[in-house]
Amino acid sequence: MAILSPLATEVFIPVAAVIGIVFAVVQWVLVSRVKLSPTAAAASGGGKNGYGDYLIEEEEGLNDHNVVVKCAEIQNAVSEGATSFLFTEYQYVGIFMSIFAVVIFLFLGSVEGFSTKSQPCTYSKDKYCKPALFTALFSTVSFLLGAITSLVSGFLGMKIATYANARTTLEARKGVGKAFITAFRSGAVMGFLLASSGLVVLYITINVFKLYYGDDWEGLFESITGYGLGGSSMALFGRVGGGIYTKAADVGADLVGKVERNIPEDDPRNPAVIADNVGDNVGDIAGMGSDLFGSYAESSCAALVVASISSFGIDHDFTGMCYPLLVSSVGIIVCLITTLFATDFFEVKAVKEIEPALKKQLIISTALMTVGIAVISWLALPAKFTIYNFGTQKDVSNWGLFFCVAIGLWAGLIIGFVTEYYTSNAYSPVQDVADSCRTGAATNVIFGLALGYKSVIIPIFAIAVSIYVSFSIAAMYGIAVAALGMLSTIATGLAIDAYGPISDNAGGIAEMAGMSHRIRERTDALDAAGNTTAAIGKGFAIGSAALVSLALFGAFVSRAGVTVVDVLSPKVFIGLIVGAMLPYWFSAMTMKSVGSAALKMVEEVRTQFNTIPGLMEGTAKPDYATCVKISTDASIKEMIPPGALVMLTPLIVGTLFGVETLSGVLAGALVSGVQIAISASNTGGAWDNAKKYIEAGASEHARTLGPKGSDCHKAAVIGDTIGDPLKDTSGPSLNILIKLMAVESLVFAPFFATQGGILFKYL
């Protein structure tokens, strides 16, 4: 038996989650000490980290009350824009959620013809399990819970980011260290809220469902899979809708503002500038939050489903069963200690210390987490146990599972650093892309695409090795916990990720409020580091999506009763080839949506520059609201077709062609989707940072390419504009496509196994 008693498990998981939530609240209180009212701006007293430093230099504008008022106004406009967009989006998503909840209930309820009699269990035929009708009902409830948790976590993240952006700008007047800490703390609020709420909701759901299911753990954890489906389906709409919104505004603002009118980024004369800043919050924060929550919920669900039909479930070993949740609980505690390293133990004093400070977060959290996993594997798992492996039970030891989780964790770090190498302008790949701008935009595009394709190589090997090792040790359960390992430091990962858009917004607010160029330089330095860390975050999200969807695929194949997926069988092969095509179809939809929305935006911005007298001179104000409306309308309208493609494919394929073809589709989508997602994200990130490298002019080489407005710079801006939809719309949405199709197939597996394959039955 395990050393940790069931009672200790029951206490430890919710306590860890509560500690995470309390820590998030404490960080939020510290951020809120930076006041947005002119009177308190100069005198925020008390303690370390910028609360007692009276650096009142006149040139930094600390006594300029107008600047504070302006910052507060701009922050208010951004916050209102983001809130109104999310409310509009959630109304549409709410309708979809209700319809899909009914579909889940009808499909799963019809498996046994809506009977309320107990049925023989799927895996242990000698036992009786609860009726399919109730599993349908509980799956629907957990779907709604996952969806609501996902929406709430995205919304709270956006609220915190819009709360912190102007505060970061004001702190930048005192120095780069103060601004860094404000932005990072705000990111931590989101990271810890999301990790803790995801864990606590899942834990409560399991315990409430257990009241009905009793000893039927197979049915209990099958119904819990709906939680992952809910989380991911909301993430899809958040990612696609938010991505279209942010990039339509960004492309419109950049093309007309920088290339045609030669005005700086985030210039208040640019009509699309508020929409651009709103977009950072709804796409990069709310979308990213929902996306990582989805991965986290799904990897937990995949591990729990496989565990419920292994010795943990058969012997009703509650502590062993909760191993995935215990790993996440340890992760919250580890991330809490890691965060203190950035905010309290070491202070960032100069611009060059920003990126190393963020990288240290990843390394410290990974190192500490490795120790944490070793301890929890020793405490929570019996020395020997068996894991379900396609019809047989495989013997596994507790150290074996430790290696599975650890290899996922370290593979995540490797993917993160490779991504950073290819997208940071401190290294040669991005500098080569910047250099290629000498001969115009065409060579810039060629170099950027080549860089993206090349950046796929090492991450794929890292994913391949972790799949092989974890599967050899503990079958599909090994892959599921490897994915959980990669996501175990989700609180730190999200803190680093949310830090980027907050810094980006802070720079925009500094420019719009007319602050001195020195402050803009500080916020630009924060933003450049944030861009690289955002690319690292996307690398994590894609790597974990690959492992999660493979684990879900394994659970689906087991549940649907497919013993072997034969690639040479025509049923499977047609699925494979169609599945591999889906990421391209999906990318085409999202890219075209951004293009058509950007077209409207460019026309609107041009019209305003041409028709509003005194706009270029700065004597008249642009009409920001129209641009915000264009982005909102476009993204709401355009997010539905890609969403429908992903949500309907498994239903149509499973119902008409059956489980074998569906398993081919899932495998094909996984294999091609991961490659496109990595290359799209890295190409876009490299183009963006090549442009920033030229703009900053920090090295001799960069100065030969600049300054802003030169032909080289214009070529770089064009590359950056092409990369925008790649890195912020198509790339990040693809990892949701891979996971969502797999988790949806798993939830509907009982229906497909009994009723699916209509066409092949009658042909």
668 contact partners, CB below 8 Å, separation of at least 6: 575, 576, 577, 578, 579, 580, 581, 582
Q: What are phi and psi of 49, to 5 degrees?
A: 60, 40
Name the residue among 691, 677, 673, 675 with its Cα closest to residue 726: 677
pLDDT at 53: 41
Q: What are phi and psi of 611, to 5 degrees?
A: -105, -20
Residue ranges of the chain with pLDDT lower than 70?
1, 38-63, 763
Name the residue among 232, 245, 247, 194 with its Cα closest to residue 88: 245
For every residue of 625-637, which 3-state class applies, written as one string?
HHHHHHHHHHHHH
Q: Which two tokens stand for residue 657?
A: 């062609």
pLDDT at 101: 94
One-letter amino acid at 216 equals: D
Q: Which two tokens stand for residue 613?
A: 């007298």
User: What gap in Å lies between CA 478 and CA 280, rounded to an integer?
Assistant: 36
Q: In whole angstroms, what separates CA 420 from the centre of its chain? A: 17
Evaluate whether 413 touches 362 at the Cβ level (below 8 Å). Answer: yes
- List the domain boundaries for the chain: 6-38+63-548
Q: What are phi and psi of 56, to 5 degrees?
A: -85, 85
Burial 478-498 (b: 16+ CB within 10 A, else e): bbbbbbbbbbbbbbbbbbbbb
Evaluate whether 727 touches 538 at the Cβ level (below 8 Å). Answer: yes
Name the residue among 245, 249, 248 with its Cα closest to residue 287: 245
pLDDT at 438: 92
Q: Which two tokens stand for residue 292?
A: 């990582």
pLDDT at 1: 67
Q: What are phi and psi of 588, to 5 degrees?
A: -60, -45
Neighbours of 581 (CB within 10 A): 14
